[in-house]
Structure formats: C-alpha cells, structure tokens
C-alpha cells in the first residue's frame, strides 16, 4: 500500500509518501509545495491543487491522509489553512483516492506516543521509524507522520473518519 500524507498550509503544504508492506513502512519521497504571499490567494490554492494532483499521478497512492487544521489563535489563519486543506481534498477526490483525516493530537500520539510532542520530537521519530539518514524539513516531516498515522490505524479502517 502506498500512502500520501499531507500537512496543509498556505505558504508551505508538506507531503510525504510511504509504502507499507507486511506492516513495515518505508520511505518513498517527501517535500513541500511552496507558494508566495505576493501571489493571489486563488492562484496559491490552484498551485497546491495542481502540485498534489501531479504527485498523485506520479506515485499512485492508494490512500491520502490529511492533517486536520487546528484552531489557530488567528481566525483568518485557520480559515486559510482550511482552504489549503480543501484544495488537497479536492485533488485527492478528483483522482478517486480514499481520503482520511487525523488531528494533530492523533498523529503525535501515534508517532511519538504523546499528544503534547514537539515538532522536533515528531521529526526525530519519523526519522527513526523510516530509517532516514537525516530528519526531513518540518512540513514534510509532519506529512510523513500523517502517513505513518494512517498506516497504524489502517487495521481499524472501518472506524476511521473518512472525508466524504
């Protein structure tokens, strides 16, 4: 099974792709889609959508796992992050992929063992689990953690909240 994890963000949307065989995850690719704040908002969403669509075409993931947006202190930031997540969801839906979402708490508990884990702890555990030589950048690390979270929860797939 190939899983595409996504950490949505307007400036940087992280992505991480893993394969799982015999319950053992392995690294395929990761990175981020960057947009410029000088570009119009609709064009930034289009870039996220187009880039994720291309990644889905290239890697053919079976499942897309997306980190839920959290309630930010600034409502405008939360709304923009939600729109970036929407662009990711539409890209996956148009490619007819199964889509699941996880809260940051679920991801941290799954990958690190505690919901209060720092980004550094998540990145360290992603490196260990996937046997990477170095820690991935923050957005890519969060996306890989999201993919790893799905791989752990996959055995309970009937109980996962599918994005409809």
| Helix (H/G/I), strand (E/B), else coil: 24 | strand
Is 134 catalytic? The answer is: no
Determine which one of 7, 50, 158, 161 is catalytic: 7
Distance CA(52)–CA(77), nearest Å, equals 21
| Sole residue written with tokens 């410029």 | 36
**Which listed residue (57, 67, 68, 133) is catalytic?**
67
Pick the catalytic residue from 22, 57, 133, 139: 139
67 is catalytic: yes
Count, in order, helices (H) and strands (E) of the chain. 5, 5
* Residues 4, 54: Cα–Cα separation, whole Å: 12
Q: CB 160: neighbour CB atoms within 10 A?
A: 16
C-alpha to C-alpha distance for 89 and 164, rounded to whole angstroms? 10
Active site residue 120: no
d(Cα 103, Cα 93) in Å, to the nearest integer? Answer: 20
Catalytic residues: 7, 67, 139
């Amino acid at each position: 099974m190939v899983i595409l994890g996504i950490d949505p963000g307007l400036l940087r949307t992280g992505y991480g792709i893993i394969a799982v065989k015999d319950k053992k995850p392995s690294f395929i690719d990761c990175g981020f889609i960057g947009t410029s704040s000088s570009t119009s908002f609709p064009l930034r969403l289009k870039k996220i959508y187009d880039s994720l669509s291309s990644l889905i075409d290239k890697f053919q993931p079976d499942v897309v796992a997306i980190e839920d947006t959290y309630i930010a202190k600034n409502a405008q930031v939360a709304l923009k992050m939600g729109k970036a997540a929407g662009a990711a969801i539409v890209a996956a839906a148009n490619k007819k992929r199964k889509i699941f979402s996880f809260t940051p708490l679920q991801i941290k508990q799954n990958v690190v063992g505690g919901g209060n884990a720092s980004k550094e702890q998540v990145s360290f555990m992603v490196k260990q689990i996937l046997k990477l030589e170095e820690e991935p950048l923050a957005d890519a690390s969060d996306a890989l953690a999201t993919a790893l979270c799905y791989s752990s929860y996959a055995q309970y797939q009937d109980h996962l909240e599918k994005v409809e």
